[in-house]
A and B are shown apart, each in its own frame.
Chain A
Amino acid sequence: MTARWTPAPGPSLDAYRAVVGDRTIEELYRLAERLRGKRVQHLNATRQGGGVAEILNRLVPLMRELGIDATWDVIRGEDDFFRVTKSFHNAIQGDPIELGAADYEVYVKWNRVNAQELDLHGDFVVIHDPQPCAMIAEHKRSNAQRFVWRCHIDASRPHRGVWRFLEKYLRRYHASLFSAPQFAQQLPIPQYLVAPAIDPLSDKNRPLTNEQVVSILERHGIDPERPILTQVSRFDRFKDPLGVIQTYQMVKETNDCQLVLAGGGASDDPEGAQVLAEVQEMAGDDPDLHILLLPNDAHLEINALQRASTIVLQKSLREGFGLTVSEGLWKGKPVVGGATGGIPLQILDGVNGYLVNSPEGAAFRIRYLLNHPEIASEMGRRGVEQVRQNFLLIRNLRDYLLIMLATESAARTITL
């Protein structure tokens, strides 16, 4: 059966005042006044693993604290459904994947099953990513309901066939949300920009003591005294883990360093095991190359690994947004990332890290930073501020409130 997922309450809004300031929190309460009691129903395909689940885990309780009746439902499917939706995911990110009529039928069938099992009752229904996108076709909505499709992936160059298929469902929504302007497509519905965000108080991002960090490094056999390069991501081709190993091997020729590739799997990603095997094969028996397959709830470990890093990497070839960039920046680290998707929104080239387009480019920037620790340190300082201003959970929550207000009103300027 589909599942209503109730996240643990976590820190209250008041706890965020120390991070973002009183005015920002008061602003949320003001925005939420008009939305008090409204039902907001989030739907996605996984409750663990990946950035979407992480965001919803915090967003839903905080919305509830603001007096909004927020819920989160997770759709279900069998392997055939997740195989097809993974292909959809890759195709939207530009992979030339050919899907047959049977694949589309599997997709529609499982959307129908979920639509029958789930009551789409929300005043605002927020459907995340392509997996549950077609459920809207099976639902007889009331005029008062507002349906919003949230695209978390890089749709800048989608596979035309898959996009045309999805588009017929997207037309039924009241609005769509994209992480960056280049991801938006020609659609007959409003397209808003909403950058995702990290939670500064979660286990993944809260401050840790040096002892906690060192203890976690020792557990994985990582030397805290030598430079550490870290990429945290799923074992997914678009994250280019093989390119990261290539980069590390080039850097290693001139600079002593260790590489940590840390990632988990998501229940909607059947391809991960295959990519992991390729990564392990390429890594060979290099004792300085640490491949860590972590459980989905290893947030403290990820936090410690990022804090222990000299440089954080996110060398993606395609990226929805790449929240691990903001995570790295928030820990005061310079981040070297692929110039793709939402990464250039987070890395200001030469200000808080570097944007790169190849393993060679990444290797050059990493070597430069390893030779100029004072510049790396200054970049890290700027990175913290960049995230504080733009990519914290509270801003994301505010954007959702704005979208709810905007989809309810025809006026371009809304006065509260």
Chain B
Amino acid sequence: VDDFKIRLLTKGKRLPFFEVGEPFVFKKVIYLVEVTGHRARTLDELLRALAVVPADSVGYHMHREFLAYKFAPLEYPNDFAYWTARVLGDEILGEKLANLRVFRHRSLDGLRLEISRLVAEHLLAYPEAAKELAPTGRDFHFLLARSVVMDCNRVASTIDELTDALAEIESSSLYFHLFETRFSGGQGRENDFAEWLRLALGKEELAAKVANIDPYMFSLEQARRTLLNTLFSAKAAQS
């Protein structure tokens, strides 16, 4: 467990991620990608692999594409949706997997179960879908990340400081605070900005607005603008 304040459940009660008055420390993440050795050519193989791969692999495939530079908006928000729709040609399942509300799940295992349920139900409803075979070289390879977390040398103690830093911070830091920490300690939680506003500054209403930003709907740069607009609007309303 790293020292980035991963708070585990204690007697069924989650400890606060931020202390009252604590500054927000910007971090960023770099991935070293590892191959799990599990791969799938069909939906059946995907389902079987889902049962045995590390839960972190499921999490990695849900949002790794957001960290990559893109020439066009993402067609599908996660690798499972993309592969089923674009490689197997199963657009119905692709749509279902694209519409997953990832952060409604309390844990990566819960998310894994939900994906498995969607695939299994789809196979029951459309048995012919099991016959679709990925072309050579286009198997689904289950990958996993070793994460290296680094300090960005940027700290915010007020909303103004948070706003200033958000405008300048590198995109991998946004990724870290919007995606990477959501299942820290195995538990689902709000994004770091929302948690900090609520717990460190006591800004419940603003925290709820920031928590409501779904990072799967935006590129990182769009998410940055959306976050800034939310903070600017709150400031304007206050003044």
Contact = CB atoms under 8 A, between A and B. Distances in A.
Interface of A: 23, 27, 30-31, 156, 178, 181-182, 184-187, 190-193, 339-340, 344, 348, 351, 382, 385-386, 389-390, 398-399, 402-403, 405-406, 411-416
Nearest to B36: A191
A192 B32 contact: yes
B209 interface: no
A412 B56 contact: yes
Interface string B146-189: 11111100000000000000000010000000000000000000
A182 B150 CA distance: 30
B2 A191 contact: no
B32 A416 contact: no
B20 interface: no
Interface stretch (B120-128, B137-145, B221-229): B137-145
Contacts of A156: 137
Contact of A187 (B37, B39, B72, B149): B37
Given A411-B1, A415-B148, 8 more contacts: A27-B150, A182-B139, A186-B37, A351-B71, A386-B71, A399-B32, A402-B32, A415-B2
B35 A178 contact: yes
B86 to A, nearest CB: 11
Nearest to B150: A416
B149 A416 contact: yes
A390 B31 CA distance: 13
Interface string B184-215: 00000000000000000000000000000000
Interface pairs A-B: 4 shortest CB-CB: A181-B141, A389-B69, A415-B2, A184-B35
B148 A31 contact: yes
13 contacts: A27-B150, A30-B150, A31-B30, A182-B139, A184-B37, A192-B33, A192-B146, A193-B35, A386-B69, A389-B68, A390-B68, A411-B1, A414-B148
B75 interface: no
B32 A403 contact: yes
B206 to A, nearest CB: 29
Given A340-B137, A351-B71, A385-B71, A23 B170 contact: yes
B19 interface: no
Given A181-B141, A182-B139, A385-B71, A415 B32 contact: no
Contacts of B37: 184-187, 191
Contacts of B3: 415
A115 B4 CA distance: 43
B189 to A, nearest CB: 16
Contact of A416 (B33, B35, B146, B151): B151
A321 to B, nearest CB: 14
Contacts of B149: 413-416
B182 to A, nearest CB: 14
Contact of B148 (A385, A389, A390, A416): A416
B205 to A, nearest CB: 32
Given A182-B139, A398-B30, A191 B35 contact: yes
A339 to B, nearest CB: 7
Contacts of B2: 411, 413-415
A390 B139 CA distance: 22
B148 A192 contact: no
A405 B148 contact: yes
Given A182-B139, A389-B69, A390-B69, A412 B35 contact: no
B45 interface: no
Nearest to B54: A412
B22 interface: no
B95 interface: no
A385 B146 contact: no
B35 A192 contact: yes
Contacts of B69: 385-386, 389-390
Contacts of A348: 71
Interface in B96-123: none
A184 B35 CA distance: 7
Contacts of A344: 137
Given A191-B37, A385-B69, A415-B2, A339 B137 contact: yes
B128 to A, nearest CB: 27
Contacts of B35: 178, 181, 184, 191-193
Contacts of A412: 56, 146-147
A411 B137 CA distance: 32
A283 B126 CA distance: 53
A166 to B, nearest CB: 17
A191 B39 CA distance: 14
Contacts of A399: 32
Contact of B146 (A23, A182, A184, A414): A414
Interface string B13-35: 00000000000000000101111
A339 B71 CA distance: 20
B150 A193 contact: no
Contacts of B143: 181, 193
A414 B150 CA distance: 9
A399 B37 CA distance: 20
B4 A415 contact: yes
A182 B141 contact: yes
Contact of A182 (B30, B56, B137): B137
A381 to B, nearest CB: 10
A414 B1 CA distance: 9
B137 A414 contact: no
A300 to B, nearest CB: 30
| Most B-side CB within 10 Å, residue of A351, A389, A402 | A402
